[in-house]
Amino acid sequence: MNVDMLTDGSMVTYLMVPFLICLSRICDVTLGTLRIVYISKGIKSLAAVIGFFEVVIWLFAIGQIMQNLNNVINYIAYATGYSMGNYIGIFVENKLSVGTLMLRVFTKKNADELMGALKSSGYGVTLVRGSGIYGPVDIFYTIIRRKDYNDIINLIKIFNPQAVFTVEEVKYVNHQPFSMGQHIGNGFSNPLRALVKRPVY
d(CA 104, CA 89): 28
Mean pLDDT of 74-90: 92
State the pLDDT at residue 95.
Answer: 82
d(CA 122, CA 96): 22
Mean pLDDT of 158-174: 81
Is 80 exceeded by the pLDDT of residue 89? yes
Mean pLDDT of 179-188: 44
Q: What is the mean pLDDT of the chain?
A: 78
pLDDT tens-digit readout, 15-38:
788 899 999 999 999 999 999 988
State the pLDDT at residue 13.
Answer: 65
Is 50 exceeded by the pLDDT of residue 164? yes
Is 60 exceeded by the pLDDT of residue 6? no
How many angstroms separate the Cα of 145 from the Cα of each of 45, 66, 105, 117?
21, 45, 16, 16
Is 80 exceeded by the pLDDT of residue 97? no
Mean pLDDT of 156-174: 81
State the pLDDT at residue 11.
Answer: 61
State the pLDDT at residue 32.
Answer: 93
